[in-house]
């Protein structure tokens, strides 16, 4: 290009990696190369994701770029099982898979509730979330946004 640009360059991060050492090492390389922000794979459990971020901060020093976590609301049990078993980098806890399985006809509502609960648990520890609609279910995304926009962060 040769000329300065006016766009931001981000990098990807898996918060539930199979090999945390390699993921942190790669994140360090991305940040040293000039990444302006971090987007994560979709997550379904706050505790391990936040623990990994703490570990990355301890090993790399303060992460001086925004961390934006991916949230992909589940639509039904089959969707949850597919993501868990077939999509590399996505790990859905057994309790979440069971919750979706037990939800019956209310599966999409349960998926929305899981997403809202996750965002509430992450608030205060990350810079934001980006919401990914599955199967063009923009209605679920709108409901998640409406809910999180009207609630104070959970302490």
pLDDT at residue number 153: 52
Distance CA 76, CA 48 (A): 23
Contact predicate 81/6, CB 8 Å: no
pLDDT at residue number 137: 85
Per-residue pLDDT of the chain (155 residues; tens, 9 = 90+): 678 778 889 999 999 999 999 999 999 999 999 999 999 999 999 999 999 999 999 999 888 999 999 999 999 999 999 999 999 889 999 999 999 999 999 999 999 999 999 999 999 999 999 999 998 888 989 999 998 887 655 44
Within 10 angstroms of residue 152's Cβ, the number of other Cβ atoms is 7
CA-wise closest residue to 77 among 90, 92, 65: 92
Contact predicate 110/103, CB 8 Å: yes
- Sorted by sequence, the CB contacts under 8 Å of residue 22 that are 6+ apart come out as none
Instruction: Give domain limits for the chain.
Output: 10-149
Strands (E) located in the chain: 10-13, 37-42, 67-71, 128-131
pLDDT at residue number 155: 42
Distance CA 16, CA 82 (A): 17
pLDDT at residue number 2: 77
* CATH architecture of the domain with range 10-149: Alpha-Beta Barrel (3.20)
């Amino acid at each position: 290009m040769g000329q300065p640009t006016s766009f931001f360059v981000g990098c990807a991060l898996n918060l539930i990696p199979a090999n945390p050492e390699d993921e942190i090492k790669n994140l360090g390389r991305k940040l040293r190369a000039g990444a302006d922000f971090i987007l994560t794979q979709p997550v379904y459990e706050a505790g391990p994701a936040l623990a990994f971020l703490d570990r990355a901060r301890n090993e790399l020093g303060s992460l001086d770029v925004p961390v934006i976590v991916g949230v992909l609301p589940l639509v039904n049990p089959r969707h949850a099982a597919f993501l868990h078993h077939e999509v590399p980098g996505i790990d859905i806890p057994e309790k979440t898979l069971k919750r979706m399985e037990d939800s019956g006809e209310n599966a999409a509502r349960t998926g929305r509730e899981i997403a809202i609960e996750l965002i509430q648990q992450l608030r205060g520890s990350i810079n934001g979330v980006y919401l990914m609609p599955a199967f063009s279910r923009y209605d679920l995304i709108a409901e998640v946004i409406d809910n999180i926009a009207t609630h104070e962060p959970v302490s």
